[in-house]
Protein backbone atom coordinates (compact mmCIF):
# COMPACT_ATOMS: atom_id res chain seq x y z
CA UNK A 1 0.00 0.00 0.00
CA UNK A 2 1.61 3.31 -1.04
CA UNK A 3 1.92 5.87 1.75
CA UNK A 4 -0.54 8.75 1.58
CA UNK A 5 0.87 12.28 1.71
CA UNK A 6 -0.31 14.63 4.46
CA UNK A 7 -2.07 16.83 1.93
CA UNK A 8 -3.62 13.99 -0.12
CA UNK A 9 -7.33 13.23 0.21
CA UNK A 10 -7.94 10.92 3.18
CA UNK A 11 -8.29 7.20 2.45
CA UNK A 12 -11.66 7.10 4.21
CA UNK A 13 -13.31 9.04 1.38
CA UNK A 14 -14.39 11.99 3.52
CA UNK A 15 -12.98 14.41 0.94
CA UNK A 16 -10.88 16.09 3.63
CA UNK A 17 -7.10 16.20 3.55
CA UNK A 18 -5.45 13.26 5.27
CA UNK A 19 -3.75 15.56 7.82
CA UNK A 20 -7.11 17.01 8.84
CA UNK A 21 -8.90 13.66 8.96
CA UNK A 22 -7.42 10.23 9.80
CA UNK A 23 -3.70 11.09 10.16
CA UNK A 24 -4.00 12.36 13.75
CA UNK A 25 -6.23 9.40 14.69
CA UNK A 26 -3.73 6.91 13.32
CA UNK A 27 -0.78 8.67 14.95
CA UNK A 28 -2.55 8.56 18.30
CA UNK A 29 -3.23 4.82 17.91
CA UNK A 30 0.44 4.17 17.08
CA UNK A 31 1.61 6.21 20.06
CA UNK A 32 -0.82 4.31 22.30
CA UNK A 33 0.56 0.98 21.02
CA UNK A 34 4.13 2.14 21.79
CA UNK A 35 3.09 3.27 25.29
CA UNK A 36 1.49 -0.10 26.05
CA UNK A 37 4.46 -1.99 24.61
CA UNK A 38 6.79 -0.07 26.95
CA UNK A 39 4.45 -0.66 29.86
CA UNK A 40 4.82 -4.43 29.37
CA UNK A 41 8.55 -4.08 30.05
CA UNK A 42 8.01 -2.11 33.25
CA UNK A 43 4.95 -3.98 34.56
CA UNK A 44 6.38 -7.48 34.09
CA UNK A 45 9.22 -7.09 36.65
CA UNK A 46 6.75 -5.57 39.14
CA UNK A 47 4.54 -8.65 38.83
CA UNK A 48 7.52 -11.02 39.09
CA UNK A 49 8.74 -9.16 42.20
CA UNK A 50 5.29 -9.57 43.75
CA UNK A 51 5.59 -13.33 43.11
CA UNK A 52 9.01 -13.33 44.77
CA UNK A 53 7.38 -11.68 47.79
CA UNK A 54 4.93 -14.56 48.29
CA UNK A 55 7.22 -17.07 50.08
CA UNK A 56 4.31 -18.90 51.80
CA UNK A 57 3.23 -20.55 48.59
CA UNK A 58 6.69 -21.13 47.12
CA UNK A 59 7.16 -24.70 48.45
CA UNK A 60 3.82 -25.91 47.06
CA UNK A 61 4.19 -24.00 43.78
CA UNK A 62 7.78 -25.19 43.35
CA UNK A 63 6.74 -28.79 43.92
CA UNK A 64 4.06 -28.50 41.23
CA UNK A 65 6.03 -26.58 38.61
CA UNK A 66 9.17 -28.75 38.88
CA UNK A 67 7.29 -31.97 39.58
CA UNK A 68 9.02 -32.45 42.93
CA UNK A 69 12.53 -32.24 41.49
CA UNK A 70 13.78 -29.22 43.47
CA UNK A 71 13.33 -28.32 47.16
CA UNK A 72 12.67 -24.64 48.05
CA UNK A 73 16.31 -24.20 49.16
CA UNK A 74 17.36 -24.60 45.54
CA UNK A 75 15.24 -21.73 44.19
CA UNK A 76 18.28 -19.44 44.04
CA UNK A 77 20.20 -21.95 41.90
CA UNK A 78 17.39 -22.67 39.46
CA UNK A 79 18.51 -20.09 36.91
CA UNK A 80 21.69 -22.17 36.55
CA UNK A 81 20.23 -25.66 36.95
CA UNK A 82 17.47 -25.05 34.41
CA UNK A 83 17.72 -22.39 31.72
CA UNK A 84 16.27 -19.27 33.43
CA UNK A 85 14.50 -21.73 35.72
CA UNK A 86 13.86 -19.36 38.63
CA UNK A 87 12.41 -16.67 36.40
CA UNK A 88 10.23 -19.14 34.48
CA UNK A 89 8.98 -20.49 37.80
CA UNK A 90 8.18 -17.04 39.22
CA UNK A 91 6.35 -16.07 36.01
CA UNK A 92 4.23 -19.21 36.35
CA UNK A 93 3.69 -18.55 40.06
CA UNK A 94 2.39 -15.06 39.23
CA UNK A 95 0.09 -15.96 36.34
CA UNK A 96 -1.01 -19.56 36.92
CA UNK A 97 -0.75 -20.60 40.57
CA UNK A 98 -4.00 -20.28 42.50
CA UNK A 99 -3.88 -19.08 46.07
CA UNK A 100 -6.21 -20.28 48.86
CA UNK A 101 -8.96 -17.97 47.64
CA UNK A 102 -8.86 -19.52 44.17
CA UNK A 103 -7.35 -16.44 42.56
CA UNK A 104 -4.00 -16.07 40.88
CA UNK A 105 -1.51 -13.43 42.01
CA UNK A 106 -2.17 -11.38 38.87
CA UNK A 107 -5.93 -11.54 39.54
CA UNK A 108 -5.34 -10.35 43.11
CA UNK A 109 -3.07 -7.53 41.97
CA UNK A 110 -5.53 -6.41 39.27
CA UNK A 111 -8.26 -6.08 41.90
CA UNK A 112 -6.03 -4.26 44.35
CA UNK A 113 -3.12 -2.67 42.46
CA UNK A 114 -2.27 -0.04 45.11
CA UNK A 115 0.83 -1.91 46.29
CA UNK A 116 2.41 -1.81 42.82
CA UNK A 117 2.52 1.98 42.19
CA UNK A 118 1.49 1.68 38.54
CA UNK A 119 1.58 4.36 35.89
CA UNK A 120 -1.43 4.87 33.63
CA UNK A 121 -0.58 2.40 30.81
CA UNK A 122 0.46 -0.24 33.37
CA UNK A 123 -2.89 0.21 35.13
CA UNK A 124 -4.55 -0.30 31.76
CA UNK A 125 -2.65 -3.53 31.06
CA UNK A 126 -2.93 -5.39 34.35
CA UNK A 127 -6.65 -6.33 34.11
CA UNK A 128 -6.00 -7.67 30.59
CA UNK A 129 -3.38 -10.04 31.97
CA UNK A 130 -5.64 -11.93 34.40
CA UNK A 131 -6.60 -14.53 31.79
CA UNK A 132 -3.02 -15.27 30.72
CA UNK A 133 -1.71 -18.79 31.43
CA UNK A 134 1.36 -20.79 30.50
CA UNK A 135 0.75 -22.18 26.99
CA UNK A 136 2.72 -23.74 24.14
CA UNK A 137 3.12 -21.88 20.84
CA UNK A 138 4.55 -22.71 17.45
CA UNK A 139 6.29 -19.89 15.58
CA UNK A 140 4.63 -19.39 12.19
CA UNK A 141 6.54 -16.48 10.65
CA UNK A 142 9.26 -14.08 11.75
CA UNK A 143 10.31 -10.61 10.61
CA UNK A 144 13.79 -10.45 12.13
CA UNK A 145 14.29 -7.52 14.46
CA UNK A 146 10.62 -6.58 14.29
CA UNK A 147 7.84 -9.00 15.16
CA UNK A 148 6.48 -12.52 14.65
CA UNK A 149 3.32 -14.58 14.40
CA UNK A 150 2.68 -17.64 16.53
CA UNK A 151 -0.05 -20.26 16.80
CA UNK A 152 -1.19 -21.87 20.04
CA UNK A 153 -0.14 -25.52 19.74
CA UNK A 154 -3.37 -26.76 21.35
CA UNK A 155 -6.08 -24.22 20.46
CA UNK A 156 -4.66 -23.44 17.00
CA UNK A 157 -5.40 -19.75 17.59
CA UNK A 158 -2.92 -17.32 16.00
CA UNK A 159 -1.40 -14.27 17.66
CA UNK A 160 0.66 -11.30 16.41
CA UNK A 161 3.67 -10.81 18.69
CA UNK A 162 5.31 -7.36 18.97
CA UNK A 163 8.61 -8.57 20.40
CA UNK A 164 11.74 -7.58 18.51
CA UNK A 165 14.06 -9.48 20.90
CA UNK A 166 12.08 -12.70 20.43
CA UNK A 167 12.05 -12.15 16.65
CA UNK A 168 15.86 -12.39 16.64
CA UNK A 169 15.99 -15.60 18.69
CA UNK A 170 13.14 -17.58 17.12
CA UNK A 171 12.65 -19.22 13.73
CA UNK A 172 9.53 -20.64 12.05
CA UNK A 173 8.63 -24.05 13.52
CA UNK A 174 10.24 -23.36 16.91
CA UNK A 175 8.15 -24.10 19.97
CA UNK A 176 7.80 -21.65 22.87
CA UNK A 177 6.38 -22.59 26.26
CA UNK A 178 5.58 -19.27 27.88
CA UNK A 179 3.09 -16.50 28.59
CA UNK A 180 1.69 -14.21 25.87
CA UNK A 181 0.87 -10.88 27.48
CA UNK A 182 -1.67 -8.60 25.76
CA UNK A 183 -0.22 -5.16 24.90
CA UNK A 184 -2.90 -3.30 22.98
CA UNK A 185 -3.65 -5.08 19.72
CA UNK A 186 -0.52 -7.21 19.87
CA UNK A 187 1.06 -9.50 22.42
CA UNK A 188 4.51 -9.88 23.97
CA UNK A 189 6.23 -13.00 25.31
CA UNK A 190 6.27 -12.13 29.01
CA UNK A 191 8.83 -12.97 31.69
CA UNK A 192 11.00 -15.98 30.84
CA UNK A 193 9.89 -18.66 28.38
CA UNK A 194 11.29 -22.04 27.32
CA UNK A 195 12.43 -22.29 23.70
CA UNK A 196 12.18 -25.77 22.16
CA UNK A 197 13.24 -27.25 18.83
CA UNK A 198 10.61 -27.82 16.09
CA UNK A 199 10.71 -31.63 16.48
CA UNK A 200 9.10 -31.32 19.94
CA UNK A 201 5.78 -29.91 18.68
CA UNK A 202 4.11 -33.19 17.79
CA UNK A 203 5.22 -34.98 20.97
CA UNK A 204 4.21 -32.07 23.16
CA UNK A 205 0.77 -32.27 21.57
CA UNK A 206 0.57 -36.02 22.32
CA UNK A 207 1.81 -35.36 25.86
CA UNK A 208 -0.95 -32.78 26.41
CA UNK A 209 -3.55 -35.15 24.92
CA UNK A 210 -2.59 -37.82 27.46
CA UNK A 211 -2.92 -35.35 30.32
CA UNK A 212 -6.28 -34.22 28.98
CA UNK A 213 -7.48 -37.80 28.81
CA UNK A 214 -6.47 -38.36 32.45
CA UNK A 215 -8.02 -34.99 33.43
CA UNK A 216 -11.33 -36.01 31.84
CA UNK A 217 -11.77 -38.82 34.38
CA UNK A 218 -12.81 -36.08 36.82
CA UNK A 219 -13.83 -33.39 34.29
CA UNK A 220 -15.64 -35.30 31.52
CA UNK A 221 -16.24 -32.38 29.16
CA UNK A 222 -12.97 -30.55 29.71
CA UNK A 223 -10.86 -29.27 26.84
CA UNK A 224 -7.27 -28.07 26.72
CA UNK A 225 -8.27 -24.64 28.08
CA UNK A 226 -9.75 -26.16 31.26
CA UNK A 227 -6.79 -28.51 31.63
CA UNK A 228 -4.29 -25.67 31.41
CA UNK A 229 -6.27 -23.32 33.62
CA UNK A 230 -6.02 -26.00 36.30
CA UNK A 231 -2.59 -27.54 35.73
CA UNK A 232 -0.50 -25.67 33.19
CA UNK A 233 2.61 -26.89 35.03
CA UNK A 234 2.46 -30.08 32.95
CA UNK A 235 3.89 -28.07 30.04
CA UNK A 236 6.97 -27.43 32.15
CA UNK A 237 7.17 -31.12 33.06
CA UNK A 238 7.55 -31.79 29.33
CA UNK A 239 10.24 -29.10 29.04
CA UNK A 240 12.12 -30.60 32.02
CA UNK A 241 12.25 -34.02 30.39
CA UNK A 242 13.96 -32.73 27.24
CA UNK A 243 17.72 -32.96 26.74
CA UNK A 244 19.55 -29.63 26.81
CA UNK A 245 21.96 -30.64 24.06
CA UNK A 246 21.09 -32.15 20.70
CA UNK A 247 17.50 -33.13 19.84
CA UNK A 248 16.82 -36.79 20.60
CA UNK A 249 13.78 -38.31 18.85
CA UNK A 250 13.85 -41.54 20.85
CA UNK A 251 13.76 -39.54 24.06
CA UNK A 252 10.64 -37.73 22.84
CA UNK A 253 8.93 -41.09 22.34
CA UNK A 254 10.05 -42.15 25.80
CA UNK A 255 8.51 -39.05 27.38
CA UNK A 256 5.15 -39.87 25.83
CA UNK A 257 5.41 -43.55 26.79
CA UNK A 258 6.37 -42.74 30.39
CA UNK A 259 3.52 -40.23 30.61
CA UNK A 260 1.09 -42.86 29.41
CA UNK A 261 2.30 -45.25 32.11
CA UNK A 262 2.39 -42.58 34.83
CA UNK A 263 -1.17 -41.50 34.07
CA UNK A 264 -2.25 -45.13 33.84
CA UNK A 265 -3.64 -44.78 30.36
CA UNK A 266 -4.05 -47.82 28.14
CA UNK A 267 -1.90 -48.41 25.06
CA UNK A 268 -3.83 -46.92 22.16
CA UNK A 269 -6.45 -44.95 23.97
CA UNK A 270 -5.92 -41.48 22.58
CA UNK A 271 -9.32 -40.71 21.17
CA UNK A 272 -9.40 -36.97 21.08
CA UNK A 273 -9.35 -36.41 17.36
CA UNK A 274 -6.71 -34.46 15.57
CA UNK A 275 -5.01 -37.66 14.45
CA UNK A 276 -5.64 -38.65 10.88
CA UNK A 277 -6.06 -42.31 10.03
CA UNK A 278 -4.85 -42.78 6.50
CA UNK A 279 -5.83 -46.43 6.16
CA UNK A 280 -9.00 -47.02 4.22
CA UNK A 281 -9.53 -43.44 3.19
CA UNK A 282 -10.25 -42.61 -0.39
CA UNK A 283 -7.44 -40.48 -1.67
CA UNK A 284 -7.80 -38.51 -4.85
CA UNK A 285 -5.13 -39.92 -7.09
CA UNK A 286 -4.37 -38.11 -10.27
CA UNK A 287 -3.76 -39.90 -13.56
ZN1 LIG B 1 -10.40 10.07 7.05
Predicted local distance difference test score (pLDDT) of residue 2: 61
Residue 13 CA, ligand 1 centroid: distance in Å:
6
Residue 36 CA, ligand 1 centroid: distance in Å:
25
Residue 11 CA, ligand 1 centroid: distance in Å:
6
Cβ(186)–Cβ(162) below 8 Å: yes
Residue 8 CA, ligand 1 centroid: distance in Å:
11
Cβ(33)–Cβ(185) below 8 Å: yes
Predicted local distance difference test score (pLDDT) of residue 184: 87
Residues with Cβ within 5 Å of ion ligand 1?
10, 12, 14, 21-22
CA distance 38 to 185: 14
CA distance 106 to 89: 14
Residue 173 has pLDDT above 50, yes or no: yes
For 62, 68, 222, the CA distances from 248, given in Å and listed in that order, are 27, 24, 32
Residue 146 CA, ligand 1 centroid: distance in Å:
28
Residue 33 CA, ligand 1 centroid: distance in Å:
20
Residue 80 has pLDDT above 70, yes or no: yes
Predicted local distance difference test score (pLDDT) of residue 275: 30
Which pLDDT band holds residue 265 (cuts at 50, 70, 90)? confident
CA distance 132 to 183: 12
Residue 124 CA, ligand 1 centroid: distance in Å:
27
Residue 185 CA, ligand 1 centroid: distance in Å:
21
Give the pLDDT confidence of 28-78 residue by residue, as tens digits.
999 999 999 999 999 999 999 999 998 899 999 999 999 999 998 898 899
Residue 166 CA, ligand 1 centroid: distance in Å:
35
Residue 27 CA, ligand 1 centroid: distance in Å:
13
Give the pLDDT confidence of 82-132 residue by residue, as tens digits.
888 999 999 999 999 999 999 999 999 999 998 899 999 999 999 999 999
CA distance 257 to 244: 20
Residue of 210, 208, 203, 178 lying closest to 191 (CA atoms): 178
Amino acid sequence: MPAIGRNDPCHCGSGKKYKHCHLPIEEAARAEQVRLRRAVDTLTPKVIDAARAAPDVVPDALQRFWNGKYPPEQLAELDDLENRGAERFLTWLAFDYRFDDGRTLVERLAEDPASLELNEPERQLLPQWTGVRLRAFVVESVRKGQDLDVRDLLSEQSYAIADSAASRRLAPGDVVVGHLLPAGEKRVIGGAAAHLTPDTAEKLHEFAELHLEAFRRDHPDAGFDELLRTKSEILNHFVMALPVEAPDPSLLDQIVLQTRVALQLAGESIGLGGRKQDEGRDEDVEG
